Amino acid sequence: MSEHTLAAKSAGQLNDEMLSSMRPPTWRWYGLAFFLGAVVAWGISAFTYQMMTDLSVTGLDRPVMWGIYIANFVFWVGLSHSGTMVSAILRLSQANWRRPILRAAEAMTVFSITVAGLFPVIHLGRNWVVYFFLPYPNQRGLWPNFRSPLLWDATAITTYIIGSSLFLYLGMLPDLAVVRDRAAGWRKKIYAVLAMGWRGTAREWVVFRQASTLMAALIIPVAVSVHSIVAWDFAVTVIPGWHSTIFPPYFVIGAITSGVAAVITLMIIIRRVFHLEEYLTPLHFDNMGKLLLVICLLWSYAYFVEVQTTWYAHEPIEWEVWSFMSGKYTPLLILMLIGNSVLPIAGLCFKKVRRSVKAMLVITLLVNVGMFIERYLIIVPSLSHKNMPFVWGTYSPSWVELSVTAAAFAGFTLMYVLFAKFFPMVAVTDVRELGVRHTDISLGRAKVHSLTEEK
Amino acid sequence: MEKLTSPYKWGMVVDLDRCTGCGACVVACQAENNVAICGKQEIAEGRNMHWLRIERFWVGEYPDVRVRFLPVLCQHCHDAPCEPVCPVYASYHNPEGLNGQVYNRCVGTRYCGNNCPYAVRVFNFHDHEHAWPPPLDNQLSPDITVRPRGVMEKCSFCIQRIRRAKEDAKAEGRSIKDGEVQPACAQTCPAEALAFGNMADPQSRVARLSRSPRSFRLLEHLGTHPSINYLKGGGREHV
Amino acid sequence: METLGTFKDVETATRAVEGLIKTGFPEETITSLTSASYPDGVIVKTDQRTWFRWAAVGGGIFGACSGFLLAAGTAWLYPVQTGDKPIIAFYPTGIVTYELTMLFAILGTIVGMFLEMGIPPWSARPYDPAISEGNIGISVSVDSREQMVRAGKIMEAAGALSIRH
């Protein structure tokens, strides 16, 4: 939103507009929540069926012992880099256009890492003894194996869930105070507890601002480490096609791509649904589009480098995995390259495309389709054609796995829908801060607008 | 923390020049270790449970066709890729050089199955606990469990037989003699292609055979240091 | 004790602050209550130094020790040979130590932040919900009833919408 329009509206009006998602729910909202809940319930019943029967209801076999569940896991962890990267990096670089986007991005991080954390439990052969992973002193003297990348996963994801939830909560603190002041009855009591007695004193703001900056600085290395650790699940093996040193940076880049694209998609949706057209302007899409362009270029670079070294050295087993993948999954591979590389790079170079909401929706949805395919194409073909040709195999997901995948998407959306109803979707106080700090001054012959920066 | 040691280092030698591909070893292993009987459907799904498989390769063009057999079982690698990746220590290295699998600790992440380059680990995708309706359950060996669903299993070099031999030897106050412990596959092979014994004893049959100029190991370039040596002569055309 | 006056805009609020300072209230006892943060000095000057980052450092150190104990300590307690890897391996220990360092640094930041802000408060403090709608609150810490009345009068004269204690 431009600073002039911000200054022109009263604070009460701004509050009303930005908090419009929290109005009493319409029957359309109930319908959407019910539909999403139904998909989630279907997925839960499919998973229960899997847990009561056995893993034969999935498409897994020897040698492809990891399939779409793990593709989901990696995809959702990747998506969780949205909030951290967008919110934290933009906070640290003090980019003003971040303000309306922050909350959506941070919430996305929390919900996608929550969904991601479910998949390691879902794909287990004996889910009921998952507590064996926990390091607790027991009478048998057993401890879990921290040399295993799966335990690094568990540690990193726990850290990231806690860290990103706290990051989200911290950012919401002043906004929760605004919501508390506008609420009544039992709602007011709950928001009062959440707002922790925030009054907005000058001292509180000083500490808040410094804490936000420190949290942003701390959460970025955690995010990078989380996806590197997920990449090491694959990279530290002896499986051809997985054992590649580029995997950690490649996965982190892929995660940022996925996350930035998802934030843009989300921005488009909430802009439409909550009538935030004045707050999420073409300028925001322009800047996010530039960010997405850069990161898609990086992703394309990493992918090109990986394939090029495989092709040139032509090591038989590695080349076999690549040719098998490109031969059997050609349509998926092409869709992935179009979605992740060709379309974003070609389209986002143009300002008109970046500022067009419709074009951005298409591009960003295709980026995430491409990223999901990319996860699948990393996992399944390498396992299908391992070192011993006699046990080469294939895999295709079963209805149980697809149901759980659908439930994951529905569950994520449902959490988002509920969040938007009960919590401020736009960083109200952050946006209003822009209006407060803006003033018009006469410089020479013109009246220019100036913005007070932090010292 | 002292490293546990043992006077025994179990190893095996598979003589490919003797192997006829008859498959008796596969059947013996299944009988000895309560390996589930799978049936056509499961095997077509890629979910067979054989701890030991005979890989068969056709070489050459008609009329000059030859066939090569390669029995592949758990190589009990000294640097096993399957061991460090198990999050709960269900797969570990015991001091006698065996790669152990602890069924009741296995949570079923299947990371070990993925990381085994020889693909010798089999997972109970199906529930096989109830695959032996009475009176078939009378054939089950009491020395070894029947694995439930969701658990990874693989060749253990018939650890129950090794245990039995160690108990007998200890009772008699001696060490295990060469040839006293025979896994089911080695015991059954009609061509005597499989030899098993203590590699730490330089005079044992396996130690002598492993020093043969015909000896090679599978996927040596991965550095897994398997305990199984394969013998193949006639120009080193290994499969 | 605090006296809180609510003002419509920056002009009336700054008039109140200047009035309070002129009659002898030290600037450290005066603070602003706003729902959007104003640059320092526009309404009141505040000390910009904070100490909560040391809580983050302390948390980080605690996390590093606990991460090391978790990865190396539990491996030492339950030494199981896997592959050719040492029981206490460098990279896994390093990775787990790093993660727990960051986790406790983050927790330390949050806890330190709340402690330094002084929230949630032990006792009730005056607040006006109108502040969320863009009004500015000026709060003065007072010791006696006489000071409370004096501060209230000055703020009313400057144009306060309401006074709370």
ipTM for this model: 0.94
Cβ of C38 under 8 Å from any chain A Cβ?
A: yes
Compute the Cα dihedral for B75, B81, B85, B88 and give only its sign: positive
Residues 103-142 of C with CB under 8 A from A: 103, 105-107, 109-110, 112-114, 116-117, 119-121, 125, 127, 129-135, 137, 139
Q: Which helix (H) or strand (E) covers residue C95, if one does?
A: helix C90-117
Residue of C nearest to B101 (CA): C82
Mean pLDDT over each residue of chain A, to the nearest integer: 92
Query: Taking the CB of residue A6, how many other CB atoms lie within 10 A of it?
Result: 21
Q: Count other C-beta atoms under 10 Å from residue A12's C-beta.
A: 14
Between CA C159 and CA C165, with CA C161 as vertex, the angle to 5 degrees is 105
pLDDT at B164 over 70: yes
Residue among B23, B42, B19 nearest B31 (CA):
B23
Q: Identify residue A108 by its one-letter amino acid code.
A: M
Judged by CB atoms closer than 8 Å, whether chains meet at C81 and B1 is answered as no
**B46, B85, B224 ranked by CB distance to A393: nearest:** B46
Q: Which pTM value belongs to this model?
A: 0.94
Report residue B239's pLDDT band, with 50, 70 and 90 as the boundaries: very low
Q: What is the pLDDT of residue B133?
A: 82
Token digits of residue B47: 């979910």
Name C46's Cβ contacts closer than 8 Å, sequence gap at least 6.
A202, A203, A206, C31, C40
CB atoms within 10 A of CB A295: 22
In the numeric block, the tokens 């996608």 are attached to A112
d(CA A159, CA C102): 8
CB contacts of C77 in chain A (<8 Å) are 141, 143
What average pLDDT does chain C have? Answer: 92
Answer yes or no: are the C-beta atoms of A59 and A395 closer than 8 Å: yes
Transcribe A242-287 into DSSP letters: T--TTHHHHHHHHHHHHHHHHHHHHHHHHHHHTT-TTTS-HHHHHH
Tokens representing residue B218 in the block: 């599978």
Whether residues A123 and B109 touch (CB distance < 8 A) is answered with yes
- pLDDT > 90: what percent of chain B? 84
| Whole-angstrom distance, CA of residue A275 vs CA of residue A17 | 8
The answer to whether residue A175 is domain-embedded is yes
Structure tokens at A166: 């706290």
Is C67 exposed, middle or buried (CB count within 10 Å of its CB: 0-12, 13-18, 19+)?
Answer: buried
The answer to whether the Cβ–Cβ distance between A61 and B45 falls below 8 Å is yes
What pLDDT is recorded for position B235?
A: 52
Cβ neighbors of B169 (< 8 A, separation 6 or more) are B175, B176, B177, B180
pLDDT digits (tens, 9 = 90+) for A10-52: 888 888 888 888 888 889 999 999 999 999 999 999 999 999 9
Q: What are the CB-based long-range contacts (under 8 Å, 24+) for A349-355?
A: A349/A293, A351/A286, A353/A289, A354/A285, A354/A286, A354/A289, A354/A290, A355/A282, A355/A283, A355/A285, A355/A286, A355/A289
Whether residue A108 contacts residue A264, with contact meaning beta carbons closer than 8 Å, is answered with: no
- The string of DSSP letters for A150-175 reads HHHHHHHHHHHHHHHHHHHHHHHHHH
- Angle at which helices A149-182 and C90-117 pack, to 10 degrees? 10
Alpha helices, DSSP H, located in B94-214: 111-115, 159-171, 184-188, 205-210
What's the number of domains chain A is made of?
1
> From CA A33, how far away is CA A23, in angstroms rounded?
15
Contact between A427 and A90 under an 8 Å Cβ cutoff? The reply is no
Per DSSP bridges, beta strands A446-451 and B228-231 are unpaired
Q: What is the pLDDT of residues A269-306, one digit of tens each?
A: 988 888 888 888 898 899 999 999 999 999 999 999 99
Share of chain A above pLDDT 70, in %: 98
- Residue holding tokens 């002898």? C24
Which of A75-84, A246-255, A423-432 has the highest mean predicted lDDT (pLDDT)?
A246-255
Residues A76/A114, Cβ–Cβ less than 8 Å: no
pLDDT, tens digit (0-9, with 9 covering 90-100), for A211-233: 999 999 999 999 999 999 999 99
Q: β-pairing, B228-231 with C136-141?
A: unpaired
Q: Does A344 or A97 have the greater pLDDT score?
A: A344
pLDDT at A386: 93
B152 to chain A: nearest residue by CA?
Answer: A125
Which is nearest to A198 in space by CA: A416, A454, A428, A18?
Answer: A428
Please check whether residue A379 lies inside any domain of the structure: no
Going through B82-187 in order, the beta strands assigned E by DSSP cover: 91-93, 99-101, 122-123, 152-153
Looking at the partner chain, which of A145, A178, A218 has a beta carbon nearest the beta carbon of C109? A218
Least confident segment among A383-397, C56-70, C140-154: C140-154
Between B1, B83, B94, which is nearest C79 by CB?
B1
Residue B91 pLDDT > 80: yes
- Looking at beta carbons, which residues of chain C come within 8 Å of A177? 35, 132
3-state helix, strand, coil in chain C (%, to 5): 55, 10, 35
Contact A231, A252 (CB under 8 A): yes
The answer as to whether A237 is a domain residue is yes
B128-149 burial, b at 16+ Cβ within 10 Å, e below that, comes to beebbeeeeeeeeeeebebbbb
Residues of C in contact with A199 (CB under 8 A): 33, 125, 127, 131, 137
> What pLDDT score was predicted for residue A140?
87
Give CA angle at A366 (A364, A372), nearest 5°.
110
Gap between the Cα atoms of C52 and C109, Å rounded:
6
In chain A, DSSP finds a helix count (H) and a strand count (E) of: 19, 2
Res. A90: pLDDT tops 80: yes
B1 and C84 within 8 Å at the Cβ level: the answer is no
**pLDDT digits over A346-383, tens only?**
999 999 999 999 999 999 999 999 999 999 999 999 99
Q: Convert the pLDDT of each residue in B108-159 to its tens digit.
A: 999 999 999 999 999 999 998 878 888 888 989 999 999 999 999 999 999 9
Residues of B in contact with C80 (CB under 8 A): 89, 92
Q: How confident is the model at residue A264 (pLDDT cuts 50, 70, 90)?
A: very high
Domain-located, residue A261: yes
> Coil, strand, or helix at residue C159?
coil
State residue C100 phi and psi, 5-degree precision.
-70, -30
Q: pLDDT grade, residue A101 (50/70/90)?
A: confident
Q: Cβ(A248)–Cβ(A109) under 8 Å?
A: no
Residue B135: asked if its preceding bond is cis (omega within 30°), the reply is yes
- Within-domain flag for A341: no
Mutate to test the interface with A, among C14, C29, C34 (most CBs of A within 10 A): C34
Asked if residue A75 is part of any domain, the answer here is yes
Q: How many CB atoms lie within 10 A of CB B204?
A: 20
* Cβ(A100)–Cβ(A108) below 8 Å: no
Predicted confidence (pLDDT) at residue B198 exceeds the cutoff of 90: yes
Q: Residue A209 domain-assigned? A: yes
Q: Is residue A353 part of a domain?
A: no
Question: Residues B19-23: what's their mean pLDDT?
Answer: 93
Q: Residue A245 belongs to what domain range?
A: 3-278+399-451
Instruction: Supply angle C-alpha A13, C152, C39, rounded to 5.
Output: 50
